[in-house]
Amino acid sequence: MSNSSRYIDIHCPYKPLVVGRVPAMTADEAGSAVLSAERAQKLWAAVPLHERAGLLYAWADELQRMADEIAEFIMLEVGKSRAAALAEIERSADLVRHTAEEGRRLGGELIRGDAYPGSKPGKTALIDKVPLGVVLAISPFNYPVNLSVSKVAPALITGNTVVLKPPTQGSISALLAARALHRAGCPPGVLNVVTGRGADIGDVLTSHTSVRCISFTGGTATGRAICRKANMIPVILELGGKDPAIVLEDADLQLAAREIVSGAFSYSGQRCTAIKRVLVAEPVAEPLIELLRCGIERLRVGSPEEQADITPLIDTQAADKVSNLIREALDEGARLIIGNRRDGNLIYPTLLDGVTERMRVAWEEPFGPVLPVIRVRDEEEAIRWANASEFGLQASIFTRDVQSALAIAKRLEVGSVQLNRRTERGPDHFPFLGIKSSGLGVQGIRRSIETMVRDKVTVLQE
Ligand code: NAP
Ligand code: G3H
């Protein structure tokens, strides 16, 4: 609730429908949410770890019980197919359970002083892992539940309290996930959800002196702005990408095409980890492009309610951006293989060949269903193209030669390299990170837990 009596209507991205409305909280209310989290934190940290884990297990069960209801809202708010929305809930429940298990294993450390020359005999450091305090979690529209839960769960298991600022488009789904936590028995003040436009309340939250850690997933520009506002605290950023699929001459082209089509076009390309360019060795470019074309032709385009693969983008601005990238590339000489049709915010899956370095589509993240193909002479040129990007999230290499794949992987400036598979975040207990403009810090269940605690050292003298 907000005292401002102002609300934001949430419009469905694929049909004329107001899905619901959420309070447009004021800056003061956002500040109060942080203070509420701060007040609750010490009590929460004092709850025995196995009980905090118990709450997470109960949350996972509740998420599954509410799966149909939450999935319906994910579909309506962000235009994800019902099956994909249900998969998001299932994945979130798994993540919460695994976080509870992993969190229970987080122990401290004991370091003996006599291992260091000159140390007084009998000195011992006990290193405990203690919570940071209030964690500010900010999530994006494309996984409104999963990317909220993946920040909230590690914060709670480690004894932090949370202020969650969900994406406006996706707020209702995130609020339902929060309701699941409250039904599971979460004490008051431990999770505080703040709705409202990031542009209006973001600064108050990110610069608040009681916030002790920020975990953000979203666009690179927003991430940079948050970094500038933050108060000398740990900031974890998962940002945009321009993940390349490098296809070498000896690759299994059928496999490569299958993985690339799925990697580039699932959820209409609205994934940070989507394959966003293909760097293919010239001798196999023609057969690969034909296989990609066939794969794209088979994608179903339409409404998420009909289980389409390609659905309308989140808003008109997003669709305009993709259309412009395609139009400019074609004007500059790219060859259209398939696609370049638009119906409102629905952009048909588009494959472009002959993309050159002058074209914006070679460098920018479209966050939509367009895939540029760049033909390269050899591995060296592929690596040069891959590393010339401002982004460094993930890359895929398709080849039958594992040695050469490993050698290339070593030289790619990205967080993760996938061999003969599409780029993707999961499984969620793997470390997940971006470098350069793709992020700061590491997520993945274990790493997220470690980020949300600090050492507390007590030195004993015998
Ligand atoms: P976004 O516009 O950056 O928004 C992300 C979140 O930040 C939303 O909750 C948004 O709130 C909030 N926000 C906006 N301005 C803010 C401010 N000044 N201070 C604090 N918070 C603010 O990103 P998006 O459009 O939701 O997602 C698309 C982008 O996210 C793409 O670039 C994509 O690659 C990236 N992404 C990256 C990952 C990853 O793991 N690397 C995962 C998903 C998405 P409002 O909704 O109210 O504006
Ligand atoms: O959009 C960014 C997400 O972290 C990507 O997750 O690879 O499981 O789709 P995903």
List the one residue out of 64, 86, 65 whose CA is nearest residue 75.
Answer: 86
Q: Tokens 């274990």, residue?
A: 446
Tokens of 187: 């004490």
Evaluate whether 210 touches 186 at the Cβ level (below 8 Å): no
Ligand 2 atom with least separation from CA of 424: 7
Phi-psi region of 439 (alpha: psi -120 to 50; beta: other; left: phi over 0): left
Kindly report the three-state secondary structure assignment for every residue of 6-71. CEEEEECCCCCCEEEEEECCCHHHHHHHHHHHHHHHHHHHHCCHHHHHHHHHHHHHHHHHCHHHHH
Among candidate residues 259, 272, 365, 379, the one labeled active-site is 272
From residue 371, alpha-carbon distances to 208, 269, 301, 334 in Å are: 40, 9, 16, 12
From residue 73, alpha-carbon distances to 83, 175, 359 in Å are: 12, 10, 37
pTM, two decimal places: 0.97
- Residue 51 Cα to ligand 2 midpoint, Å, equals 30
- Is 272's C-beta closer than 6 angstroms to any atom of ligand 2? yes
Tokens of 129: 């892992």
Ordered by start, the domain boundaries in the chain are 7-239+438-461, 243-430
Give the contacts of 298 (CB within 8 A, at least 6 positions apart): none
272: annotated active-site residue: yes
List the one residue out of 132, 135, 131, 133 whose CA is nearest residue 206.
Answer: 135
Q: What SS3 state is found at 384?
A: helix
Give the contacts of 103 (CB within 8 A, at least 6 positions apart): 49, 52, 53, 56, 154, 157, 158, 449
Bridge partner list, 125: 111, 459
The C-alpha atoms of residue 309 and residue 307 are separated, in whole angstroms, by 6
Ligand 1 pocket mutation, candidates 195, 217, 266, 317, criterion most atoms within 8 A of CB = 217
Ligand positioned closest to the Cα atom of 271 = 2
- Is 441's C-beta closer than 6 angstroms to any atom of ligand 1? no
381: annotated active-site residue: no
End-to-end CA distance of the chain: 56
- Residue 426 Cα to ligand 2 midpoint, Å, equals 8
* Nearest Cα residue to atom 36 of ligand 1: 218
List the one residue out of 115, 148, 151 whose CA is nearest residue 135.
Answer: 151
* Nearest Cα residue to atom 7 of ligand 2: 424
Residue-level pLDDT at 4: 72
- Is 394's C-beta closer than 6 angstroms to any atom of ligand 1? no
Q: Give me the CATH code for the 7-239+438-461 domain, please.
A: 3.40.605.10
List the one residue out of 427, 422, 424, 394 whose CA is nearest residue 409.
Answer: 394
Q: Tokens 């209310």, residue?
A: 29
- Residue 83 Cα to ligand 1 midpoint, Å, equals 24
The C-alpha atoms of residue 341 and residue 178 are separated, in whole angstroms, by 39
Ligand positioned closest to the Cα atom of 263 = 2
Residue-level pLDDT at 338: 98
pLDDT tens string, the chain, 462 residues long: the values are 667 789 999 999 999 999 999 999 999 999 999 999 999 999 999 999 999 999 999 999 999 999 999 999 999 999 999 999 999 999 999 999 999 999 999 999 999 999 999 988 999 999 999 999 999 999 999 999 999 999 999 999 999 999 999 999 999 999 999 999 999 999 999 999 999 999 999 999 999 999 999 999 999 999 999 999 999 999 999 999 999 999 999 999 999 999 999 999 999 999 999 999 999 999 999 999 999 999 999 999 999 999 999 999 999 999 999 999 999 999 999 999 999 999 999 999 999 999 999 999 999 999 999 999 999 999 999 999 999 999 999 999 999 999 999 999 999 999 999 999 999 999 999 999 999 999 999 999 999 999 999 999 999 998
Ligand 1 atom with least separation from CA of 240: 34
From residue 185, alpha-carbon distances to 42, 54, 74, 393 in Å are: 18, 10, 24, 37
Evaluate whether 318 touches 345 at the Cβ level (below 8 Å): yes
Residue-level pLDDT at 315: 98
* Superfamily of structural domain 243-430: Aldehyde Dehydrogenase; Chain A, domain 2 (3.40.309.10)
Ligand 1 atom with least separation from CA of 143: 43
Among candidate residues 62, 72, 77, 238, the one labeled active-site is 238
Burial of 289-327, coded b for 16+ CB within 10 Å and e otherwise, reads bebbbebbeebebbbbeeebbbbbbbeeebbebbbebbe
Q: Torsion over CA of 420, 425, 428 and 431, rounded to 10 degrees?
A: 90
List the one residue out of 371, 372, 311, 370 whose CA is nearest residue 345.
Answer: 311
395 by Cβ neighbours in 10 Å (0-12 / 13-18 / 19+) ranks as: buried
The C-alpha atoms of residue 216 and residue 221 are separated, in whole angstroms, by 12
- Is 165's C-beta closer than 6 angstroms to any atom of ligand 2? no
- Residue 217 Cα to ligand 1 midpoint, Å, equals 6
Evaluate whether 150 touches 166 at the Cβ level (below 8 Å): no
Neighbours of 54 (CB within 10 A): 15
Handedness of CA 185, 191, 194, 198 (dihedral sign): negative
- Is 365's C-beta closer than 6 angstroms to any atom of ligand 1? yes
- Residue 228 Cα to ligand 2 midpoint, Å, equals 25
- Is 235's C-beta closer than 6 angstroms to any atom of ligand 1? no
- Is 273's C-beta closer than 6 angstroms to any atom of ligand 2? yes
Ligand 2 atom with least separation from CA of 147: 4
- Is 151's C-beta closer than 6 angstroms to any atom of ligand 1? no
- Residue 225 Cα to ligand 1 midpoint, Å, equals 11
- Is 425's C-beta closer than 6 angstroms to any atom of ligand 2? yes
- Residue 424 Cα to ligand 2 midpoint, Å, equals 6
- Is 427's C-beta closer than 6 angstroms to any atom of ligand 2? no
Peptide bond into 140 cis (omega under 30): no
- Is 102's C-beta closer than 6 angstroms to any atom of ligand 1? no
